[in-house]
Amino acid sequence: MDENGSLYVTDNGKAEVRRYRRGESQRTVVACGNGSGNRLDQLSNPHYVFVDRDHSVYVSDCGNDRVMKWVEGAKQGIVVAGGQGEGNGLRQLYYPQGVVVDQLGAVYVADEVNDRIMRWPKGATQG
């Protein structure tokens, strides 16, 4: 949820993230909406979502071993962690799960298969 009470939900089947605003019956796709895949406008098996103060949406894109950031209103995302194939290197994730972003923009990722928590400072190319 964000500070306005909007609820953000991942949908594995449609490979997208939707926002439901309090008091409204309509939903809005805020990440992906282009089916499953590995392009920057797609997700594959999205699991966890985090929303920052600017309403940017961070998604653990498990099928692509990366974390994507979708700025509010964007048509495609930005890879902020992983995205270099599955593995245990400092530039890799292997089935990322929970994701949290701190006030400085550092991304923390629960890297499931590697049994580790990775910290990616804002703008870093490795964790």
pLDDT tens readout for residues 8-57: 999 999 999 999 999 888 999 999 989 999 999 999 999 999 999 999 99
C-alpha–C-alpha distance, residues 13 and 103, integer Å: 32
Closest of 4, 29, 32 to residue 19, by C-alpha = 29
CATH number assigned to the domain comprising residue 60: 2.120.10.30
125 pLDDT higher than 90: no
pLDDT, position 46: 98
CB 46 within 8 A of CB 10: yes
Q: Is residue 127 part of a domain?
A: no
- 1 belongs to a structural domain: no
Range of the domain at 91: 7-120
Examine residue 125 and state whether it is found in any structural domain, yes or no. Answer: no
d(CA 106, CA 22): 29
| Amino acid making up residue 31 | A
Residue 2 belongs to some domain of the structure = no
Residue 26: how many CB atoms within 10 A of its CB?
Answer: 8
- pLDDT higher than threshold 90 for residue 90: yes
Instruction: Answer yes or no: is pLDDT of 127 > 90.
Output: no
Strand extents, DSSP E, 5-95: 7-11, 16-20, 27-32, 46-51, 57-61, 66-70, 78-82
* pTM for the model: 0.94
The span from the CA of 46 to the CA of 59, in Å, is: 6
Question: H or E segment at 96?
Answer: strand 96-101
